Structure 1
Amino acid sequence: MMATTHVFVGLLLAGGVAMLAPDYAGVAAAGAILGGLVPDFDVVGAHRKTLHFPVYYWLPAIGATVLAFMVPTPTTVFLAVCLLAAAVHCLTDVIGGSHELRPWEGNRDRAVYSHYHGRWLEPRRWIAYDGSPGDLAFAAVLAVPLLFVFETAVQFVVIGMLLVSISYALLRKPLASGAGWLLDRN
């Protein structure tokens, strides 16, 4: 899935916080955005391995969530939503395509690395690949309720990320072709 789709999933978690405790909506949204993005910071290294922990993120996420319920502060709510969004991000990478330059070709069976299992988990391909029409549709469906749950600042972020999603989906295959051409030349 696209990074923006992962952020929208995290923002849905933050939306639950916003409805139950509106005072924490902003910090929950910030935590969701950061947590939805952080695992993909490993794109410069061993992508879907270095910062992706489909099992291990859950331990601190559950602990932080319990803490946020017991001691709700901006810091505990931010941390809980951030860790939950990161945990869900890593788990949902399994429902997407494989980790490769042209995942629509389906040449690899690597969705995300599980450090707990010591192996790559296979992609389910429910969403064919990041930037696929299905990924874009899923992102749009996730974005719509967010526009009604959050206030203006987060709404602008959601709209901006939706525009990025549309652009990326339109350019996904040409970007892969261009990157492949560059890699072939080196």
Structure 2
Amino acid sequence: MMLPTHVLGGMLLAVPLIRVAPELAPIGFVAGFLGGLFPDLDMYVGHRRTLHYPVYYSLFAALALFAALVAPSTVTVAAALFLLGAAVHSVADMYGGGLELRPWEGNSDRAVYNHYHGTWIAPRQLVRYDGAVEDLALSIGLSLPLLYLLEGPLRQIVLGTLVVAAVYTVTRRHLAELAARIIPYAPDSLSPFLPDRYQDDNLKQ
């Protein structure tokens, strides 16, 4: 799934704080956003393996959530929402497309790496690929309660994220084709920094 969907999902996890601990809600929304974003910082360094931990994030998120319930504070709530956002992101990637330049072709058997079992989880494609129409629909659905509940800068963040999601959806396939055209002309010195999916697809050209 695309990054906007993940960060909106992370933010949505903080909604209960509005009722149970409104003074901690802002930090919860920010932490959820950052947690939803964090796993994809491995985009160019072993994507969906280096920072994606569907099992371990979930375990630590459960422990952090327990700590936040027992001793709510800025630190415990932020840690819980960050880890929950990262866990949901990592698990949700199992239900998207695989790791390939054109994931709509369905040729990859790698969705996200399971470090606990030491193997790749295959894509289940409930969302066909990141940037698919249903991915955008999911982003919109996740944003609606946030737009209703939030005000000020947080609301602007949600709106900005939706704009990014819409633009990415419109350009997604074009970006893949552009990458396929450019990569063959990239200098060899850049090869170690290119995702495997770029190089693998390039070999098929």
The whole-number CA distance in structure 2 between the counterparts of 1:20 and 1:124 is: 36
Superposition RMSD in Å: 0.9
The whole-number CA distance in structure 2 between the counterparts of 1:40 and 1:94 is: 14
Residue 185 of structure 1: CA displacement? 2.9
Task: Report the TM-score when normalising by structure 2.
Answer: 0.88
Equivalent residue, structure 2, for 1:97: 97
Equivalent residue, structure 2, for 1:178: 178
The whole-number CA distance in structure 2 between the counterparts of 1:85 and 1:122 is: 21
Residue 21 of structure 1: CA displacement? 1.4
Aligned residue type for 1:56: Y
Equivalent residue, structure 2, for 1:163: 163
The whole-number CA distance in structure 2 between the counterparts of 1:86 and 1:19 is: 23
CA deviations on 1:21-72 (whole Å, 9 max, x unpaired) are 1111110011011100000000020000000001011121111111111111
Aligned residue type for 2:49: K
Report 1:1-186 matches (<5 A).
1-186=1-186
Residue 101 of structure 1: CA displacement? 1.1
Identity of aligned residues (%): 46
The whole-number CA distance in structure 2 between the counterparts of 1:169 and 1:158 is: 17
The whole-number CA distance in structure 1 between the counterparts of 2:109 and 2:20 is: 40
Task: Report the TM-score when normalising by structure 1.
Answer: 0.97
Aligned residue type for 2:69: F
The whole-number CA distance in structure 2 between the counterparts of 1:107 and 1:22 is: 46
Residue 20 of structure 1: CA displacement? 2.2
- Structure 1 or 2, whichever has the larger Rg, is 2
Residue 18 of structure 1: CA displacement? 2.2
Aligned residue type for 2:99: H
The whole-number CA distance in structure 2 between the counterparts of 1:36 and 1:48 is: 13
- For structure 2, the residue ranges without an aligned partner over 5 or more in a row are 187-205
Q: Is the 8 A contact 1:18 1:28 kept in 2?
A: no
Q: Is the 8 A contact 1:4 1:161 kept in 2?
A: yes
Name the SS of the counterpart of 1:120 in structure 2. Answer: strand
The whole-number CA distance in structure 1 between the counterparts of 2:34 and 2:51 is: 13
Residue 183 of structure 1: CA displacement? 1.6
Name the SS of the counterpart of 2:55 in structure 1. Answer: coil
The whole-number CA distance in structure 2 between the counterparts of 1:67 and 1:10 is: 19
The whole-number CA distance in structure 2 between the counterparts of 1:161 and 1:63 is: 29
Name the SS of the counterpart of 2:56 in structure 1. Answer: coil
